[in-house]
Amino acid sequence: MIDTALRHEFEAALGADAVLTDPLQLRTYECDGLTGFREVPALVLLPRTTEEVAAAVSLCAKAGLPFVARGAGTGLSGGAVPVAQGVVISLARMRQVVEFDPDDRRMVLQPGVTNAEISKIAAPEGLYYAPDPSSQVVCTIGGNVAENSGGAHCVKYGFTVHHVTALRVVLPDGSIVTFGGDAPESAGPDLRGLFIGSEGTLGIATEITVRLLRIPQAVRTLVADFSTVEAAGEAVSGIMASGIVPAAVEMLDSLAIEACEAAVNAGYSLDATAALVVELDGMEEECDEQFERVVALCREKGTTNIRIADDAAERARIWQGRKAAFAAVGRISPDYFVQDGVVPRTRLSEALGRIAEMSRTEGLRVANVFHAGDGNLHPLVLFDEQAGEAERAEELSGRIAEMCVELGGSLSGEHGIGLDKACSMPKMFGETDLAVMQQLRRSFDPAQLANPGKVLPTPRLCGEKPGRFRPHPLEAAGVIERW
Amino acid sequence: MTEESQALREDVPGGPENRPGPGSGSDGSPSRVRPTSLAETAAALETAAAEQQSLLFTGAGTALDWGAPVTRTDLVVETGGLDRLISHAAEDWTVGVEAGMPLARLQEQLAPAGQWLPVDAPTAKAGATLGGLLAGGDVGPRRLKYGGLSDLVIGATLVLADGTVVRTGGDVIKNVAGYDLAKLMAGSFGAFGMVARLNLRVHPLPESTTTLALAALDAGQALTAARAVMRSPLEPVAVEWDGERLLIRFHGTEDSTAARGRLGAELPELAGARVLDADEEEPAWEAHAAKIAGEEGDTVLRAATRPARLPALHAKLQELAEGSGVRAAIVSGIAQGLHTVVLRGGEAEGHAAALTAWRQAVHESDGSVTLRRRREGVDARAESWGPAPATTPLLRSLKQQFDPDDRCAPGRFAPWF
């Protein structure tokens, strides 16, 4: 329990309006996008500045209170789930754009600025911020830093770590440091790179410097239908072997297409077994030339239909369909789990075959939507809780992630480990690897107060079972999408 | 995978010739060990730990004197015996290599598959290895488009001071599981352990390349031209200024590079620029790399600042050099704010004075400086790293966790840690 004296100290440091104690208010912070895990925090703090975050963290450190930083709470791995009797430090009030320098193509942001807002502000100068997680309208840059967020365009543009040059960070002892600098490298070990993707366990980023890219001159997008998943896979291989670096290559299987069409009617062919979305961007001449080659490659691999987006509106429609996939599955199934795993791209067909086999054995449908260019799968396990299928579905989903590791891949391509997969980490890493990661964590946080229980397995945690996926309230309200 | 590191440590095939001797040689020079496998590396480091030997990891040795001087070395661990290509999944765009593999040789091995690692570090010509390049942080002009080596590392196997073998990352190009320990190695100069293996993301070789050159003696003019190119749709892969001219490189299809060169030369800010002939292009970039590398007797600094700071810092450098009786040249990755400064001629006192004062100017511009090679006598007269940053306690804490006895390159980051 947090005693009154400590609460007063928080209030003195941040102002009474920045300290939430009302149980009803606290409940709104009990989970993130992975709604199966819930824990009501003892206190929620709403700092406005780096100094206030530092004051809050210092008080937590002094009192030995665990704290969890939180952005928009759209994460899908339970990374922002509060700790029992702990504090949530919400960065929701830190929404200022500190600086925008179009000449040096950079922006300095407080962590609560949303991903989409960055590109929106940069657009009049012909610039944009490349990482584009599907929740980009609501998810924050602070959360993106914590998760090393990606999106659909990673195969060409990389992840958050490739686009953030500096971080102002409040360490778990309350001290304020800067990692990185104004240029993409700086003197000494790369603490910036180490921090990005650490899921809130090494401190709290309170100021983020991002680099901006010029908006590509041309963008070309197509949807190619195939009568088998294998043929679609071969088309992907052909494109990736052609010397072209596509901006995005996405695949949907028939079940995912069915769901998308039911939800948003984006014009995907219901009779296709697999649909590929391929996007190229860059200088106009080159983009057009390469696009022709992609079209030819799809034909060579037996596409049954090619739909080319003629304009931005048509492109947006294609992407709307693709991005709606997760939520759309709700149209064809009462309940579902979202999985995130990676396999080497050349083993996609094998992975899909194994998923199909597991699906048949369990008698549960699995829809597949994924980033085919980098092998990042998002299988959606469909089930009916009323019919008592939840437990089997959850097991199946977990087995799929672990199968990805068996095929030489990873437990997570972009959703993070969080609380959800911490117990699966031993499938991917050895005991020594995990022990060294723990050492790293101790270097930053000897008292283990920053987001404890996330990323690395603990005996207490791994004796428990995760809950099933439920749509995030914002998602249910149609404010966000996931994919 | 899980058992790999365990198994490797139990199976130590290295003969006695691969074990370090008991302390330094009788003449005071350090012992040397050249392991040829991960297991031998781990065994050598375990033995060294038992003997409390201080360690210096070296690949081709191209960056061995960068940073602060190492104060004690009992055992030099050479990675030259760890130079194999472990796997190349061309279709997956990934390659696994031992860290002693020279970058230039990796490029040769990737080329038949139409691929390359888009790293053009200037030290590659002198044989720099992938492990050394990661630890030393050397990157080349094309970082602008492709990122540095560290950005292309998707997984790594490290050997810590006590012989612990640890894996981080994975084999796939997209992966966020666990902490990325390879980042701790990036720019660490071997102070936290040794890089033994790397998994890397490779790219398709560009079909075609072309370079525009513009005479530009003035930093302000160069910056204006660089910004114009960056604002254009031409997507350059490198924009470099060497104090005399601006070099702008483009990659792409045959037609597109021709178009890029032509359109670039038409930009008003680039009036007078010309596309280099095919036989001029590579020599121009080789000469550029040589300028960055410097020569024996030079002092070389690497600075990172906001690009806009270049004109003022360039003027300051010339003023300081003149006052110190040395010649100063700057080679700037002008679109990124990454500058290499070469001090030449004069005396060590002049090098030390110019280094110290210019570094202070960079720090006042919120930039950072790494001292690379230096003229003999500079170390006695100038600090290698300058004032300790706010991250110093954290760096010390990391050092304490990863190398509690301070045996990995002791002194490398003095006085920070």
ipTM of this complex: 0.94
Chain A: closest CA distance from residue B231 (Å): 7
Q: Please name the member of A171, A376, A431 whose beta carbon is closest to the beta carbon of B394.
A: A171
Question: Is the pLDDT assigned to residue B387 strictly greater than 70?
Answer: yes
Q: Which residue of B has its CA nearest to A240?
A: B91
Yes or no: say if A121 and A97 are a contact pair by the CB < 8 Å rule. Answer: yes
Can you give the pLDDT at residue A325? 84
Please report the pLDDT score of residue A467 as a whole number.
Answer: 45
- Residue B31 φ then ψ, to 5°: -70, 165
Q: What pLDDT, on the 0 to 100 scale, is given for residue A475?
A: 54
CA-CA-CA-CA torsion sign (B211, B215, B217, B223) = negative
A104 CB neighbours in chain B (<8 A) are: 306-308, 337
Q: Residue A410 is nearest to which of B170, B203, B416, comparing CB atoms? A: B170
Distance (Å) from the alpha carbon of A334 to chain B's nearest alpha carbon:
30
**Which residue do the tokens 């009323």 mark?**
A386
Express each pLDDT in B54-64 by its tens digit. Answer: 999 999 999 99
Q: Which residues of B touch A419 (CB under 8 A)?
A: none
DSSP string, A226-282: ESSHHHHHHHHHHHHTTT---SEEEEEEHHHHHHHHHHH-----TT-SEEEEEEEEE
- Distances in Å between the Cα of B380 and the Cα atoms of A449, B321, B357, B383, B415 are 43, 19, 16, 8, 14
Q: For residue B28, is pLDDT > 80?
A: no
Which among A177, A283, A439 has CB closest to B394? A177
Judged by average pLDDT, the poorest of A418-427, B15-24, B300-309 is B15-24
Q: Note which residues in 41-100 of chain A have CB less than 8 A from chain B.
A: none
Within 8 A of B94 by CB-CB distance, chain A residues are 344
* Cα R_g (chain B), whole angstroms: 22
Q: Which residue among A191, A412, A442 sits closest to B391, beta carbon to beta carbon?
A: A191
Q: What are the C-alpha distances in Å from A325 to residues A136, A254, A266, A381, A479?
A: 15, 12, 11, 13, 15
Rounded to a whole number, what is the distance in Å from the CA of B392 to chain A's nearest CA?
9
Q: Which pLDDT does position B7 carry in this prediction?
A: 37
Does residue B17 register a pLDDT over 50?
A: no
Task: Provide, as residue numbers in chain B, all residues whose Cβ is less than 8 Å from the Cβ of A185.
Answer: 137, 139, 148, 187, 304, 338
Q: Considering only CA atoms, which of A160, A166, A158, A152 is closest in space to residue A199? A: A160
- B-chain residues near A441 (CB < 8 A): 179
CB pair distance less than 8 Å for B160 and A243: no
> How far, in Å, CA of A64 to CA of A244, rounded?
53
Please, which residues bridge with residue A226 across strands? A274
Asked if A290 lies within 8 A of B253 by C-beta distance, the reply is yes
Task: Kindly state whether A170 is in contact with chain B, defined as any CB-CB distance less than 8 angstroms.
Answer: no
Cα A476–Cα A479–Cα A481 angle in degrees, nearest 5 = 75
Whole-angstrom distance, CA of residue B100 vs CA of residue B35: 10
d(CA A19, CA A90): 10
- What residue spans define the domains of chain A? 4-93, 97-214, 218-323
CB contact under 8 A, B171 and A104: no
pLDDT digits (tens, 9 = 90+) for A314-339: 999 999 888 888 888 989 999 998 99
Contact flag A436-B160 (C-beta cutoff 8 Å): yes
The sign of the dihedral angle between the CA atoms of A50, A56, A58, A64 is negative
Neighbour tally for B80: CB within 10 Å = 18
Q: What is the pLDDT of residues A374-396, one digit of tens each?
A: 999 999 999 999 999 999 998 99
CB contact under 8 A, A188 and B389: yes
SS3 A316: helix
Cα three-residue angle B84-B180-B164, rounded to 5 degrees: 60
Q: Mean pLDDT in chain B?
A: 93
Q: For each of the domains in chain B, give its residue range(s) and CATH number, in order of start.
A: 1-205 (3.30.465.10), 208-290 (3.30.70.260), 294-371 (3.30.70.260)
**HSE value, Cβ hemisphere, 13 Å, CA-based, for B117:** 34
Answer yes or no: are the C-beta atoms of B14 and B43 closer than 8 Å. yes
Instruction: Classify strands B94-98 and B75-78 as parallel, antiparallel or unpaired.
Output: unpaired
CATH architecture of A97-214: 2-Layer Sandwich (3.30)
Q: DSSP characters for A323-363?
A: HTHHHHGGGT-SEEEE--EE--GGGHHHHHHHHHHHHHHHT
Q: What percent of chain B has pLDDT over 90?
A: 92
Kindly determine whether residue A436 and residue B181, on different chains, have CB atoms separated by under 8 Å.
Answer: yes
What is the dotted CATH code of the domain comprising A4-93?
A: 3.30.43.10
**A164 vs B contacts (CB less than 8 Å):** none
C-beta atoms of B176 and A345 within 8 A: no
Q: Specify the CATH architecture of the domain A218-323.
A: 2-Layer Sandwich (3.30)
Task: Report d(CA B58, CA B129) in Å as an integer.
Answer: 9
CA A196 to CA B176: how far, in whole Å?
A: 10
Q: Nearest by CB to B176, from A148, A289, A429: name it.
A: A148
pLDDT under 50: residue ranges of chain A? 464-470, 482-483
Strand, coil or helix: what is A298? helix
Backbone angles phi, psi at B330, to 5 degrees: -125, 135
* Residue A468 φ/ψ, nearest 5 degrees: -90, 165
Contact list in A for residue B187 (CB cut-off 8 A) is: 185, 187-190
Mean pLDDT for B135-149 is 97
Cβ separation of A189 and B170 shorter than 8 Å?
Answer: no
Asked if the C-beta of A477 comes within 8 angstroms of chain B's C-beta atoms, the answer is no
